[in-house]
A and B are shown apart, each in its own frame.
Chain A
Amino acid sequence: MARYILQRVVLAAVTLLVLATLIFFLIRLLPGDPFLDPKVPEEIQERQRAYYGLDKPLLEQYGIYMRNLFQGDLGYSLRYTGRTVNGMIAESFQYSADLGMRSLVFSVLIGIGLGIVAALKKGKVWDHAAIIIAVIGVAIPSFVVGTLLQYFFSVKLAIFPVAQYKSLAHTVLPTFALSLGTLATLARLMRTSMLDVISMDYIKAARAKGLTEAQVTVKHQIRNALLPVVTVVGISIATLLCGTFVIENIFAIPGLGRYYVMGIQNLDYPLISGLTIVFGAFLIAAQLLVDILYGIVDPRIRVAGKRG
């Protein structure tokens, strides 16, 4: 197991390095120049380029960028004078992270729970309810859900605040809007997986041992049904992360998503690459966690890692 984890960690580090390199060169392939503005005198543009090191050869810029990166320095924003990217991220990260974590926990717990209940009550009311939620959740995009929730629960019924992110009440609607799609996907997947597993021979064998239905469900059915679901949780984290852009906009949450959109509009190289690296690191860490989790639930993976 230790060896398996080490492998995954090394792989994650390499991925992050490749990502940082790619993002550096790809941004510079974008057409345009952050300081190219007809209203600003040529001379001032030159000065700004020199100040930010953009007049140096590309490879030298890359060297500086990587060195800074290893020191954890993401540089200065090109547009928000005097502000470091680190500072901007530090200030907005907590909101995105909070929203993301809440949504992840909510969608994983409720989604998987709903899938289990639906499968156990196949063909009954609970099952139908779960299927309806799943279809709605998958079919309706989060910005529509977000807007509708905001309209009914905040504007019409005034149960929750309309926007901002200041108290628990503020978090309810954004969390729900962001989670619904993932929750639906996980519920559907868990339901199918549960039903696949129930027809396996080892379930019959477990019953033939005289185990109670509850024992069979908990010790054999749910555990095995989780395997394919765990892999999807990794993808879900990515989906949730991207979803935060939209949801943060609808509910005016001062998170990372807002800066990302502005950074791209302004060709703010350090801001874009900084945010991408942070998002990337986050995703890679999430994937790492999922891999390790998968190793824990599926012994076949664990042992394969030990041998290879």
Chain B
Amino acid sequence: MQLRTIDYSKAKEILKIEDLRVSFNTYVGEVKAIRGVDITLYEGEILAVVGESGCGKSVSFQSVIKLLDSPPAEYKGGKILYQGKNLLEASKKEMQDIRGSEISMIMQDPMTALDPTMQIGNQISEGLRRHNKGMSKAEAEERVVKMLELVGIPDPDKRLKQYPHEFSGGMRQRVCAAMALVSSPKILIADEPTTALDVTIQAQIMDLLHDLRKKLNTAIVLITHDLGVVADMADRIVVMYAGKVVETGQVEEIFYDSWHPYTWGLMRSMPKLNETSKVELATINGMPPDLFMPPQGCAFAPRCEYAMKVCYEEQPPVFPCGSDSHCSACWLMDPDAPKVKQPFKKDGEE
């Protein structure tokens, strides 16, 4: 595991999501997709957001730049604070000024995230010129070439005149990264930037993001459902389940000192590369709850082997887990709960 570059005692908050609630009004009813999410992002860090499909990772962070179509999406409550401003109350124009220049996003599938009818150079520079009125075409092009070089695209002066279909998947994701980073945003949201790519390319893109963070000091939110990917990338991890955050901590705290049964389940379902013997990949039994009618208590209770009576009756509060950076929303942390042994405790691994 790499050395962490962030000193959290000095780190400055750059984005704070507070009690965010988002619903989708569909014709069969209201889907309560995000049910009170709190996430803090620090300057220059890589924050991994993990959880099973449908737990609300994308919706949470598309809310940050208000990319959700509403209707059907509706912001039901909470705040998204960026530089002291609540983005949920920002005007359309203010949001347009923030998107791309302050907060950027890389889409999941590079095959569909680029406009097939436009040269990639223009796709990269159009955002740049939107945010830098008065920048000449030549200046913009110069910057685009630098950006393409930075993301590792050979022959940038020729390549910028090409169309997306002339690039491979991995190269397209590099183009997307250049597109997102060209106006030097403070925050980059990468929503599963590698799931659509094959394994070797995945690693390259991850290296690239890691490298870019160092060069540009951009805070990166890395959304993924694969814990393995984040182990050697992220500084901190947020684990989400059914529209809520269930555990937050620095990477070591999540990997070696986790306190949440759902996180344990995720870790068991993670393939281990160093294991020679063939082991059956464990998956978490059962299904996430129906978000039309979220349960009254802990949403994980029906699938949790430690579930107690209180778990079905009341939402678990967020308990600190020994350090300022680590907390878990689970009744097991309550002083009155029976003591359980953490399965992934360092030195005492399963």
Contact = CB atoms under 8 A, between A and B. Distances in A.
Interface of A: 200-202, 204-212, 215, 219-220, 223-224, 227, 297-300, 303
Interface residues of B, number: 32
7 contacts: A200-B112, A204-B67, A204-B113, A206-B115, A224-B117, A300-B116, A300-B165
A300 B130 contact: no
Contacts of A204: 67, 107, 113
B116 A220 contact: no
Given A202-B112, A205-B107, A206-B115, A299 B163 contact: yes
Contacts of B105: 205, 208
Contact of A205 (B97, B114, B119, B131): B114
Contacts of A201: 107-109, 112-113
**Chain A interface SS verdict (over half):** helix
B113 A202 contact: yes
B6 interface: no
Nearest to B96: A210
Interface of B: 65, 67, 96-101, 104-105, 107-109, 112-119, 126-127, 130-131, 163, 165-166, 176, 179-180, 183
A205 B109 contact: no
Nearest to B108: A201
B96 A202 contact: no
A195 to B, nearest CB: 12
Given A223-B117, A298-B117, A299-B163, A207 B67 contact: yes
Given A209-B100, A209-B130, A224 B180 contact: no
Contact of B99 (A200, A209, A300, A303): A209
A146 to B, nearest CB: 38
Nearest to A211: B130
Nearest to A298: B117
A202 B130 contact: no
Contact of B104 (A202, A208, A299): A208
Contacts of B166: 303
Contacts of A209: 99-100, 104, 126-127, 130, 179
